[in-house]
Structure 1
Amino acid sequence: MKKPSSPSSATSRDRRKFMINTAKTAGGLALLGIKPAFATHHDAHANKQHTVQDIMDLIFKEGGLSPIKDTVDTLKSGKASQPVTGIVTTMFATIPVIEEAVKRKANFIIAHEPTFYNHRDDTGMVPDNGVVKQKQELLDKHKIVVWRFHDYCHALRPDAVSYGVAKKAKWLSYFKTGENMLTIPPVSLQALVKHLKSSLGIAHLRVIGNPEQTCERVALLPGAWGGTRQISTAETQKPDVLIVGEVSEWETAEYIRDGRSLGRKTALIVLGHAQSEEPGMEWFVDWLQPKIRDVKVSHIASGNPFTWM
């Protein structure tokens, strides 16, 4: 016959049962992405070792992002299971960016553009590419994970790149999520160029237009939208100025030049691809860091690859 439990042993069992049920409840809530009411903010972050996958999952959850079919946003080096010692955002994971990340003890690079010189990072595009091999060896040596954050970056609301550029250009009061047209206070094209050079930190801009013309309706298309979308925007929206990251010189540039010869007023400002989207990856640090306080997130600008001679 089983011996009756004493009051003290019953209390002990009840306490253990409560702790087990509490742990189960907390774990279940965590799996559902719900923070238990009894958990403090400190408890949720203290001494947590995040993996690359954890960080990507966090970005998806906090950004309200849904899977994109056939996305180019994949890991270009390293493994998703690797613990993260630090995070760096950038436009291009260049050799100097990788070396600086190593100095900062950051082993996870979130890059907006390709690492291996083509849209899908096909390392076999040019067989036996010596530069590709050396770059892979450098990444492997320092156990650096590179994740391209392009499609999902633009899927954020607001689009991280457009928002970042508008913020750095001090145009947030004119910016509307999901729109590429901004109405700014009237300014001459020459003054607008000066403002963009100063606010975005760009030494030289390429321009088609009359320096004295007035610019108020601005089409802001940072990055490489392609000739079709750039020309379509100019044709349908009729902005005073089209501001882009880069152009195919035989497409958008020639359209703008001919249009002006035929009496159209739309001017063109070419910022440069990296410089036009870098502010978005810089702002992404501000977006991500508050959501993961126990891992340092910083930005390293990949910069302009060109010099003027």
Structure 2
Amino acid sequence: MKDASFQSAYLLSRRKFITSTLLSGSGMALLGLQPAYTKEAANVFQKQWTVQQVMDHILKEGELSPLKETVDTLKSGQASQVVSGIVTTMFATIAVIEEAAKRKANFIMAHEPTFYNHTDNPEWVAGNTVVKDKQQLLEKHNIVVWRFHDYCHSLKPDAISYGVAKKANWLSYYKPGERILTIPKLSLQQLVTHLKSSLGIKQLRVIGDLNQSCERIALLPGAWGGQRQVGVAESEKPDVVVVGETPEWETTEYIRDARLLGRKMSLIILGHSVSEEPGMEWLVDWLKPKFSGLPVSHIASGDPFMWL
């Protein structure tokens, strides 16, 4: 019995020694593993992440410096909360919040505002009952919402434009930082069909001749604002300007008059939410290897409009 106990203790001690050695740098060297393994080991074996740790790690992995002035702040919840799962989306709508709760994910990364104005000021309209009800729903499910807009566009490449180009199968024509993609020639009709099919959009708004040849595309998803959209159109002279949304009295009227003056430039309006959603969807692929212990998924907020 004494020998058996001694042998059992010896084997247990030896097992612990081997395990600790293999997890050390020298042990990994013996196994021929690369040093990069140790660099990621903390991510692989970390079992719990707080909200603050997740945000800090994203900035670190994206090589981003904290911004002094940014809308990318917490809209609900506390930085000290332990994260049970991450969800990316365009807008943290009521439906997205409820679906996140079903998935037992309590950390939502939303690209756009949660409370209907750029800074998410809940008093933007005093006594807003929809805002109050939404806040109560977030509190009920103990869900954190972190806006990921400025940092998202600061990633290299910009997560939104890269995600859109990837989903449109245009990565071979995409150059980070450039707004013009030169694609194989298509008619405007063919281009519209391609965008609807690849991006999963039911309806688009278009100004232009459907038989026009399109090769140089200004890809401007989201809401750039009329001045910047027209600025790109003037400086780059694309065949077609593809935007998420635009004030109808700005870019829309510019394109209409440009065409009446003989310029062959068209406009495609995708819709704000659906135009940037591919970027937040692609962000899941970027996040997953960085948080191996956390479930990470995407919930599309979708097109808010019903087309009649």
* Length-normalised TM-score, structure 1: 0.87
- Once residues 38 and 231 of structure 1 are traced to their aligned partners in structure 2, the CA distance between those partners, rounded to angstroms, is 48
Q: Deviations over 1:175-224 (max 9, x none)?
A: 00111110000000000000000000000000000000000000000000
1:93-136: per-residue Cα shift (whole Å, max 9, x none)? Answer: 00000000000000000000000000000001111110000000
Which amino acid in structure 1 is aligned with residue 186 of structure 2?
A: V
Cα displacement (A) at 1:43: 6.2
Q: Which residue of 1 aligns with 2:75?
A: 76
Return the offset for 1:36.
Answer: 8.5
- Residue type at the aligned position of 2:255: I
Output the amino acid matched with 1:304: D
Equivalent residue for 1:273?
Answer: 272
Q: Does 1:101 align with 2:100?
A: yes
Amino acid at match of 2:81: Q
CA contact (8 A) 2:174 2:181 kept: yes
The answer for the alignment partner of 1:20 in structure 2 is none
2:123 corresponds to 1:115: no
| Aligned residue runs from structure 1 range 54-65, under 5 A | 54-65=53-64
Instruction: Give aligned-pair identity as a percent.
Output: 69
Q: 2: CA distance between counterparts of 1:165 and 1:288?
A: 17
Letter in 1 for 2:109: I
Distance 2:281 2:199 in 1: 12
1:191 aligns with 2:190: yes
State the secondary structure of the residue aligned to 1:192. Answer: helix
Q: Does 1:164 align with 2:179?
A: no
| Structure 1 Cα separation of the partners of residues 189 and 112 of structure 2 | 30
Structure 2: how far apart are the matches of 1:173 and 1:192? 17
Question: 2:256 maps to which residue?
Answer: 257
Structure 1 pair 128/191, CA: closer, same or farther in 2 (3 Å)?
A: same
User: Mapping of 1:25-36 within 5 angstroms?
Assistant: none
What displacement does 1:263 show? Answer: 0.4
The list of structure 1 runs, each at least 4 consecutive aligned residues, that deviate by more than 3 angstroms after superposition, is 35-44
- Whichever residue aligns with residue 127 of structure 1, its letter is A
RMSD over aligned CA atoms reads 1.9
Shift in Å at residue 67 of structure 1? 2.1
Specify whether residues 36 and 214 from structure 1 end up closer, same or farther in structure 2 by C-alpha distance, changes over 3 A only.
Answer: closer
Mind listing any 5+ residue stretches in structure 2 that lack a counterpart? 1-24, 26-33
2:211 — aligned with what? Answer: 212
- Residue 45 of structure 1: how far off its partner (Å): 2.5
Distance 2:241 2:206 in 1: 10
CA 1:197–1:38: 2 relative to 1, 3 Å:
closer
- One-letter amino acid matched to 1:251: E
C-alpha spacing 1:37/1:225, structure 2 compared with 1 (3 Å): closer
Q: Kindly indicate whether the alpha-carbon contact (under 8 Å) linking 2:92 and 2:110 is maintained by their aligned counterparts in 1.
A: yes
Q: Secondary structure in 2 aligned to 1:212?
A: coil
Q: Any idea what SS the aligned residue of 1:106 has?
A: coil
2: distance between equivalents of 1:179 and 1:141? 43
Whether 1:151 and 2:160 are equivalent positions in the alignment is no
Q: SS of the counterpart of 1:92?
A: coil
User: Aligned partners of 2:90, 2:246: CA distance in 1, in Å?
Assistant: 18
User: What is the CA deviation profile of residues 222-262 of structure 1, one whole-angstrom value per residue up to 9, with x for unaligned ones?
Assistant: 00000000001001100000000001000000000000000
Whole-Å separation in 2 of the counterparts to 1:44 and 1:242 = 42
Cα distance in 1 for partners of 2:40, 2:146 equals 28
Secondary structure at 1:50 match in 2: coil
- Structure 1 distance, partners of 2:81, 2:45, is 19
In 2, Cα distance between equivalents of 1:182 and 1:274: 21
Q: Is the 8 A contact 2:75 2:120 kept in 1?
A: yes
In the other structure, the counterpart of 1:239 is: 238
Q: Do the aligned residues in 1 keep the contact of 2:43 with 2:291 (CA within 8 Å)?
A: no
Check 1:37–1:99 CA distance in 2 against 1; reply closer, same or farther (3 A cut).
closer
Corresponding pairs, count = 278
